[in-house]
A and B are shown apart, each in its own frame.
Chain A
Amino acid sequence: MKSSIKPLAIIIISIFGFLIIISHYADRSKLKLSAKEIQLIARSTNYTIDQKKLNEFQNPVLIDLREPKFFNIDHQEKAVNIPLSEILNEEYENLFASETPKLIQAHDQVKANEAWMLLTQLGYKNLYVVEL
Protein backbone atom coordinates (compact mmCIF):
# COMPACT_ATOMS: atom_id res chain seq x y z
CA MET A 1 0.00 0.00 0.00
CA LYS A 2 2.80 2.38 0.91
CA SER A 3 4.53 1.98 -2.39
CA SER A 4 1.44 2.96 -4.39
CA ILE A 5 0.83 6.18 -2.48
CA LYS A 6 4.32 7.67 -2.70
CA PRO A 7 4.47 8.31 -6.47
CA LEU A 8 0.95 9.65 -6.37
CA ALA A 9 1.92 12.08 -3.61
CA ILE A 10 4.95 13.25 -5.57
CA ILE A 11 2.86 13.85 -8.71
CA ILE A 12 0.20 15.79 -6.84
CA ILE A 13 2.69 17.95 -5.00
CA SER A 14 4.63 18.74 -8.15
CA ILE A 15 1.42 19.68 -9.98
CA PHE A 16 0.54 21.95 -7.08
CA GLY A 17 3.94 23.66 -7.21
CA PHE A 18 3.55 24.14 -10.93
CA LEU A 19 0.14 25.75 -10.39
CA ILE A 20 1.55 28.19 -7.85
CA ILE A 21 4.34 29.21 -10.22
CA ILE A 22 1.89 29.66 -13.10
CA SER A 23 -0.50 31.76 -11.06
CA HIS A 24 2.41 34.05 -10.27
CA TYR A 25 3.32 34.83 -13.83
CA ALA A 26 0.37 34.27 -16.08
CA ASP A 27 -2.23 36.80 -16.97
CA ARG A 28 -1.22 39.68 -14.78
CA SER A 29 -3.52 42.41 -15.92
CA LYS A 30 -2.16 45.89 -15.41
CA LEU A 31 -5.60 47.41 -15.61
CA LYS A 32 -6.26 49.09 -12.32
CA LEU A 33 -9.96 49.88 -12.36
CA SER A 34 -12.98 47.66 -12.49
CA ALA A 35 -15.60 48.21 -15.16
CA LYS A 36 -17.83 50.12 -12.76
CA GLU A 37 -15.01 52.38 -11.61
CA ILE A 38 -13.95 53.29 -15.14
CA GLN A 39 -17.59 53.91 -16.03
CA LEU A 40 -17.87 56.43 -13.19
CA ILE A 41 -14.61 58.14 -14.06
CA ALA A 42 -15.43 58.34 -17.75
CA ARG A 43 -18.80 59.86 -16.94
CA SER A 44 -17.54 62.40 -14.42
CA THR A 45 -14.45 63.71 -16.21
CA ASN A 46 -14.67 66.08 -19.09
CA TYR A 47 -11.56 65.14 -20.98
CA THR A 48 -12.41 66.37 -24.46
CA ILE A 49 -10.90 69.73 -25.22
CA ASP A 50 -11.35 72.16 -28.06
CA GLN A 51 -8.57 72.87 -30.54
CA LYS A 52 -8.69 76.53 -29.55
CA LYS A 53 -8.05 75.85 -25.88
CA LEU A 54 -4.75 74.10 -26.50
CA ASN A 55 -2.86 77.21 -25.40
CA GLU A 56 -4.32 77.07 -21.91
CA PHE A 57 -2.12 74.14 -20.99
CA GLN A 58 1.38 74.63 -19.67
CA ASN A 59 4.00 72.67 -21.56
CA PRO A 60 1.60 70.11 -22.94
CA VAL A 61 2.77 67.04 -24.80
CA LEU A 62 0.80 66.51 -27.96
CA ILE A 63 0.54 62.81 -28.73
CA ASP A 64 -0.32 61.81 -32.26
CA LEU A 65 -1.68 58.27 -32.52
CA ARG A 66 -1.58 57.99 -36.29
CA GLU A 67 0.75 55.66 -38.15
CA PRO A 68 4.18 57.14 -38.94
CA LYS A 69 3.49 57.32 -42.67
CA PHE A 70 0.63 59.75 -42.06
CA PHE A 71 2.49 61.56 -39.30
CA ASN A 72 5.42 62.19 -41.59
CA ILE A 73 3.27 63.81 -44.23
CA ASP A 74 1.92 66.46 -41.90
CA HIS A 75 1.68 66.96 -38.17
CA GLN A 76 1.31 69.69 -35.63
CA GLU A 77 4.31 71.43 -34.17
CA LYS A 78 6.03 69.60 -31.32
CA ALA A 79 3.73 66.61 -31.66
CA VAL A 80 5.08 63.23 -30.59
CA ASN A 81 4.23 60.25 -32.73
CA ILE A 82 3.10 57.18 -30.77
CA PRO A 83 1.16 54.83 -33.07
CA LEU A 84 -1.82 53.31 -31.30
CA SER A 85 -0.41 49.81 -31.75
CA GLU A 86 2.73 50.76 -29.80
CA ILE A 87 1.00 52.61 -27.01
CA LEU A 88 1.86 49.95 -24.41
CA ASN A 89 5.56 49.82 -25.23
CA GLU A 90 7.83 50.30 -22.27
CA GLU A 91 9.69 53.22 -23.83
CA TYR A 92 6.62 55.44 -23.49
CA GLU A 93 5.80 54.53 -19.90
CA ASN A 94 7.74 57.46 -18.45
CA LEU A 95 6.04 59.91 -20.75
CA PHE A 96 2.57 58.75 -19.75
CA ALA A 97 3.46 58.61 -16.07
CA SER A 98 4.78 62.18 -16.04
CA GLU A 99 2.72 65.03 -14.63
CA THR A 100 2.63 67.16 -17.78
CA PRO A 101 -0.73 67.39 -19.54
CA LYS A 102 -0.91 64.89 -22.36
CA LEU A 103 -3.14 65.74 -25.28
CA ILE A 104 -4.18 62.81 -27.45
CA GLN A 105 -4.92 63.17 -31.11
CA ALA A 106 -5.84 60.58 -33.69
CA HIS A 107 -7.39 60.69 -37.09
CA ASP A 108 -10.73 59.67 -35.74
CA GLN A 109 -12.30 60.39 -32.39
CA VAL A 110 -13.00 56.71 -31.70
CA LYS A 111 -9.31 55.85 -31.54
CA ALA A 112 -8.42 58.87 -29.38
CA ASN A 113 -11.22 58.09 -26.92
CA GLU A 114 -10.22 54.43 -26.75
CA ALA A 115 -6.62 55.37 -26.05
CA TRP A 116 -7.85 57.68 -23.28
CA MET A 117 -9.88 54.86 -21.73
CA LEU A 118 -6.99 52.40 -21.92
CA LEU A 119 -4.39 54.79 -20.48
CA THR A 120 -6.73 55.91 -17.72
CA GLN A 121 -7.29 52.26 -16.88
CA LEU A 122 -3.56 51.85 -16.51
CA GLY A 123 -3.58 54.59 -13.88
CA TYR A 124 -2.15 57.49 -15.87
CA LYS A 125 -3.41 60.97 -15.10
CA ASN A 126 -3.62 64.31 -16.89
CA LEU A 127 -4.83 62.88 -20.18
CA TYR A 128 -7.01 64.78 -22.61
CA VAL A 129 -8.51 64.14 -26.01
CA VAL A 130 -8.27 66.89 -28.60
CA GLU A 131 -11.45 67.46 -30.52
CA LEU A 132 -10.95 67.51 -34.26
Chain B
Amino acid sequence: MKSREIFSVIILAMGLIAAILPGRKNDSIQLNERELLQEMLLETNYISVDELAQLLISGDPSVQLIDVRPISEFKDPLPRAINIPIDSIFSENYAYMFDQNIMKNIIYGLDDETATQVWMITKQLGYANNYLLKGGLQAWKKDILDPQYPKQTASQDEFDLYQKRMAARQFFTGAQTLPKATFTPIAPIQGKKKKKVQGGCS
Protein backbone atom coordinates (compact mmCIF):
# COMPACT_ATOMS: atom_id res chain seq x y z
CA MET B 1 0.00 0.00 0.00
CA LYS B 2 2.86 2.32 0.81
CA SER B 3 4.52 2.03 -2.55
CA ARG B 4 1.24 3.16 -4.09
CA GLU B 5 1.27 6.32 -2.03
CA ILE B 6 4.86 7.08 -2.92
CA PHE B 7 4.06 6.47 -6.55
CA SER B 8 1.10 8.83 -6.53
CA VAL B 9 3.17 11.52 -4.82
CA ILE B 10 5.86 11.15 -7.49
CA ILE B 11 3.30 11.45 -10.30
CA LEU B 12 1.82 14.52 -8.68
CA ALA B 13 5.26 16.09 -8.42
CA MET B 14 5.96 15.31 -12.08
CA GLY B 15 2.70 16.94 -13.07
CA LEU B 16 3.69 20.07 -11.17
CA ILE B 17 7.08 20.17 -12.86
CA ALA B 18 5.46 19.70 -16.27
CA ALA B 19 3.18 22.64 -15.56
CA ILE B 20 6.11 25.01 -14.99
CA LEU B 21 8.23 23.65 -17.85
CA PRO B 22 9.32 26.52 -20.09
CA GLY B 23 6.98 26.51 -23.05
CA ARG B 24 7.12 28.77 -26.05
CA LYS B 25 8.25 32.24 -25.17
CA ASN B 26 5.54 33.90 -27.22
CA ASP B 27 2.27 32.09 -27.37
CA SER B 28 1.11 34.11 -30.31
CA ILE B 29 3.95 32.80 -32.46
CA GLN B 30 2.81 29.62 -34.14
CA LEU B 31 5.46 29.21 -36.82
CA ASN B 32 9.17 29.34 -36.25
CA GLU B 33 11.43 31.33 -38.55
CA ARG B 34 12.18 28.45 -40.93
CA GLU B 35 8.51 27.61 -41.42
CA LEU B 36 7.82 31.28 -42.02
CA LEU B 37 10.54 31.40 -44.67
CA GLN B 38 9.01 28.35 -46.35
CA GLU B 39 5.69 30.18 -46.53
CA MET B 40 7.40 33.23 -47.99
CA LEU B 41 8.97 31.16 -50.75
CA LEU B 42 5.75 29.38 -51.66
CA GLU B 43 4.41 30.93 -54.84
CA THR B 44 0.86 29.70 -54.22
CA ASN B 45 0.58 32.19 -51.35
CA TYR B 46 0.58 35.03 -53.85
CA ILE B 47 -1.97 36.01 -56.41
CA SER B 48 -1.46 38.25 -59.43
CA VAL B 49 -3.90 40.90 -60.61
CA ASP B 50 -4.73 38.82 -63.69
CA GLU B 51 -5.61 35.80 -61.57
CA LEU B 52 -7.70 38.01 -59.31
CA ALA B 53 -9.59 39.46 -62.27
CA GLN B 54 -10.37 35.94 -63.43
CA LEU B 55 -11.54 34.94 -59.95
CA LEU B 56 -13.81 37.97 -59.65
CA ILE B 57 -15.27 37.54 -63.12
CA SER B 58 -16.02 33.87 -62.49
CA GLY B 59 -17.91 35.04 -59.38
CA ASP B 60 -16.14 32.70 -56.97
CA PRO B 61 -18.19 33.14 -53.76
CA SER B 62 -15.34 32.03 -51.50
CA VAL B 63 -13.18 35.03 -52.35
CA GLN B 64 -12.98 37.64 -49.61
CA LEU B 65 -11.01 40.75 -50.47
CA ILE B 66 -9.46 42.58 -47.53
CA ASP B 67 -8.31 46.15 -47.99
CA VAL B 68 -5.72 47.15 -45.39
CA ARG B 69 -5.54 50.85 -46.16
CA PRO B 70 -6.36 53.28 -43.33
CA ILE B 71 -10.04 54.24 -43.15
CA SER B 72 -9.28 57.77 -44.34
CA GLU B 73 -7.76 56.45 -47.57
CA PHE B 74 -10.37 53.79 -48.19
CA LYS B 75 -12.03 54.72 -51.46
CA ASP B 76 -12.58 53.02 -54.80
CA PRO B 77 -11.98 49.56 -53.36
CA LEU B 78 -12.00 46.37 -55.37
CA PRO B 79 -15.45 44.80 -55.79
CA ARG B 80 -16.94 43.47 -52.50
CA ALA B 81 -13.77 44.30 -50.53
CA ILE B 82 -13.99 45.02 -46.83
CA ASN B 83 -11.75 47.49 -45.05
CA ILE B 84 -9.62 46.21 -42.17
CA PRO B 85 -6.91 48.80 -41.45
CA ILE B 86 -3.66 47.31 -40.18
CA ASP B 87 -4.17 49.03 -36.82
CA SER B 88 -7.32 47.07 -36.12
CA ILE B 89 -6.44 43.57 -37.30
CA PHE B 90 -6.39 42.32 -33.71
CA SER B 91 -9.60 44.01 -32.64
CA GLU B 92 -12.48 41.73 -31.76
CA ASN B 93 -14.56 42.75 -34.73
CA TYR B 94 -12.00 41.72 -37.30
CA ALA B 95 -9.61 39.17 -35.81
CA TYR B 96 -11.89 36.26 -36.69
CA MET B 97 -11.79 37.25 -40.36
CA PHE B 98 -8.19 36.11 -40.66
CA ASP B 99 -8.43 32.93 -38.64
CA GLN B 100 -10.97 30.82 -40.48
CA ASN B 101 -11.20 27.99 -42.96
CA ILE B 102 -14.10 28.97 -45.15
CA MET B 103 -13.17 32.01 -47.17
CA LYS B 104 -10.16 32.68 -49.31
CA ASN B 105 -8.80 35.96 -47.97
CA ILE B 106 -6.96 38.07 -50.50
CA ILE B 107 -5.08 40.85 -48.74
CA TYR B 108 -4.20 44.00 -50.63
CA GLY B 109 -3.23 47.60 -50.03
CA LEU B 110 -2.32 50.57 -52.15
CA ASP B 111 1.13 49.10 -52.69
CA ASP B 112 2.90 46.05 -51.30
CA GLU B 113 4.19 47.37 -47.99
CA THR B 114 1.20 47.34 -45.63
CA ALA B 115 -0.41 44.31 -47.21
CA THR B 116 2.83 42.36 -46.79
CA GLN B 117 2.97 43.31 -43.11
CA VAL B 118 -0.55 42.05 -42.50
CA TRP B 119 0.06 38.90 -44.51
CA MET B 120 3.27 38.13 -42.60
CA ILE B 121 1.47 38.57 -39.28
CA THR B 122 -1.32 36.20 -40.29
CA LYS B 123 1.24 33.67 -41.48
CA GLN B 124 3.24 33.96 -38.28
CA LEU B 125 0.10 33.25 -36.29
CA GLY B 126 -0.38 30.12 -38.37
CA TYR B 127 -3.65 31.17 -40.00
CA ALA B 128 -4.54 29.43 -43.24
CA ASN B 129 -6.29 30.74 -46.34
CA ASN B 130 -4.63 34.13 -46.49
CA TYR B 131 -3.23 35.24 -49.82
CA LEU B 132 -1.38 38.35 -50.90
CA LEU B 133 -2.22 40.36 -54.00
CA LYS B 134 1.04 41.19 -55.74
CA GLY B 135 1.40 44.86 -56.60
CA GLY B 136 -1.73 45.94 -54.74
CA LEU B 137 -4.19 48.49 -56.06
CA GLN B 138 -1.53 50.27 -58.07
CA ALA B 139 -0.88 47.19 -60.18
CA TRP B 140 -4.63 46.59 -60.49
CA LYS B 141 -5.21 50.09 -61.82
CA LYS B 142 -2.25 49.95 -64.14
CA ASP B 143 -2.76 46.49 -65.59
CA ILE B 144 -6.48 45.83 -65.43
CA LEU B 145 -8.19 49.22 -65.52
CA ASP B 146 -5.77 50.84 -67.93
CA PRO B 147 -3.79 48.24 -69.82
CA GLN B 148 -1.17 49.46 -72.23
CA TYR B 149 -1.41 48.52 -75.86
CA PRO B 150 1.48 46.18 -76.55
CA LYS B 151 4.30 47.24 -78.79
CA GLN B 152 4.20 46.24 -82.40
CA THR B 153 7.13 43.93 -81.82
CA ALA B 154 5.45 42.16 -78.85
CA SER B 155 4.77 38.45 -78.92
CA GLN B 156 1.44 36.73 -79.48
CA ASP B 157 1.18 36.06 -75.72
CA GLU B 158 1.35 39.74 -74.89
CA PHE B 159 -1.44 40.49 -77.34
CA ASP B 160 -3.55 37.70 -75.84
CA LEU B 161 -2.90 39.08 -72.36
CA TYR B 162 -3.89 42.54 -73.55
CA GLN B 163 -7.13 41.19 -75.01
CA LYS B 164 -7.90 39.47 -71.72
CA ARG B 165 -7.15 42.58 -69.70
CA MET B 166 -9.32 44.73 -71.96
CA ALA B 167 -12.18 42.28 -71.51
CA ALA B 168 -11.63 42.42 -67.74
CA ARG B 169 -11.56 46.22 -67.92
CA GLN B 170 -14.90 46.17 -69.71
CA PHE B 171 -16.27 43.92 -66.99
CA PHE B 172 -15.08 46.09 -64.11
CA THR B 173 -15.57 49.59 -65.51
CA GLY B 174 -18.47 49.08 -67.86
CA ALA B 175 -16.50 50.68 -70.65
CA GLN B 176 -18.22 50.20 -73.95
CA THR B 177 -15.56 50.42 -76.57
CA LEU B 178 -13.19 47.58 -76.93
CA PRO B 179 -10.30 48.50 -79.18
CA LYS B 180 -9.23 45.52 -81.16
CA ALA B 181 -5.73 44.27 -80.75
CA THR B 182 -4.68 42.09 -83.57
CA PHE B 183 -1.44 40.33 -83.73
CA THR B 184 0.09 40.79 -87.13
CA PRO B 185 3.33 39.01 -87.53
CA ILE B 186 5.82 41.14 -89.33
CA ALA B 187 6.01 39.74 -92.82
CA PRO B 188 9.39 39.32 -94.41
CA ILE B 189 10.16 42.08 -96.86
CA GLN B 190 9.77 40.79 -100.36
CA GLY B 191 12.00 42.00 -103.10
CA LYS B 192 10.42 43.54 -106.20
CA LYS B 193 9.80 41.17 -109.02
CA LYS B 194 11.80 41.79 -112.08
CA LYS B 195 9.65 43.06 -114.84
CA LYS B 196 9.86 41.34 -118.11
CA VAL B 197 11.26 43.48 -120.77
CA GLN B 198 8.50 44.49 -123.05
CA GLY B 199 8.44 46.06 -126.41
CA GLY B 200 11.66 46.78 -128.15
CA CYS B 201 12.43 46.37 -131.75
CA SER B 202 10.95 43.52 -133.56
Contact = CB atoms under 8 A, between A and B. Distances in A.
A78 B141 CA distance: 35
Given A12-B14, A117-B120, 15 more contacts: A5-B4, A29-B29, A31-B124, A34-B27, A34-B29, A35-B29, A36-B90, A38-B120, A39-B117, A85-B41, A110-B112, A113-B117, A114-B116, A118-B36, A121-B33
Contacts, number: 109
B139 to A, nearest CB: 10
Contact of B7 (A5, A35, A85): A5
B32 A48 contact: no
Interface string A11-34: 011001001100100011111111
Interface string B9-30: 0110010011001111111110
Contacts of A43: 86-87, 117
Interface of A: 1-2, 5-6, 9, 12-13, 16, 19-20, 23, 27-36, 38-39, 42-43, 48, 84-85, 87-88, 108-111, 113-115, 117-118, 121-122, 129
B28 A111 contact: no
A70 to B, nearest CB: 15
The interface residues of chain B, by DSSP majority, are classed as helix
Contacts of A20: 17, 21
Nearest to B111: A109
Interface in B110-137: 111-113, 116-117, 120-121, 124-125, 132, 134
Contacts of A29: 24-26, 29, 31-33
